[in-house]
Amino acid sequence: MFDHLRDLKIADVRIPPAPPAPAGPPPEPADSYQATDPSRSLWITVDRDSKVLRIEVSGTWEDRLPVAEFDDAVFMTYVNAVQMAAAAEAPARLRAAAEGPAEPSADDVVTDFHDWLADVAQRRAAIGQKLREIEENAAASADQGVIEVHGPYGLLMLRVRGGNLLGIATNTEALSKANAGMVQQALWEAFSDAGLTSPSTARQEPEPVRRPRRDDEVVIEDDLWKGFGSQ
């Protein structure tokens, strides 16, 4: 029933284009960064090092997201989460990598506005660098170093090289018959086996729970499966 992906070739994996850098001010540094797809069918949370902490799939995702678009939705959501982490963490890491703080002089004193603009430009540059790395990996014609990581149940396969996710392939027929817990488990185990999850996370058995509602959020799902990873 779930044997479709066993004969899937690397060349058969569609690699969607990397999404553009998000508009608006970059996020503030935090312990974790979460992204969701436009249909709000899945959520991916990463840590400061862009390693996956949590994957959540709505129990009613098929009502809002076509099965044929699920792989692209996962890829884009993951990349958006990685972008958020890179944009927020880059300035602090650049400062830490510097040899030492420069002595300020009168010529170095600028307004808060110009400091903010410089900070934004620095964070945008970090996002651009991450995007270039993703695009360079995705555009490479040679398959050397590319590995295929299959999730359980024959639902999906990840294409990975050098610790970077290049693309996702799904068995749409099997995916349409699987429940949200199976889909979520397949995603988590594939990401974990590919080395994309945080070392601090542990595999868990899924159980259906409600997703906590934020004050500014309209919740359109009633049966979200508990995400794999750290709580």
Residue spans of the domains in the chain: they are 23-97+111-229
- What are the residues whose beta carbons fall under 8 Å from the beta carbon of 93, sequence distance 6 or more? none
Tens digit of pLDDT at every position of the chain (231 positions): 445 554 544 444 454 555 555 555 667 788 999 999 999 999 999 999 999 999 999 999 999 999 999 999 999 999 999 999 988 887 766 665 555 555 555 455 445 656 766 777 777 777 778 777 777 766 654 556 889 999 999 999 999 988 899 999 999 999 999 999 999 999 999 999 999 999 987 654 444 434 444 454 444 444 445 455 544
pTM of the model: 0.65
Contact between 5 and 171 (Cβ < 8 Å): yes
Residue 199 sits at φ, ψ, to 5 deg, of -60, -20
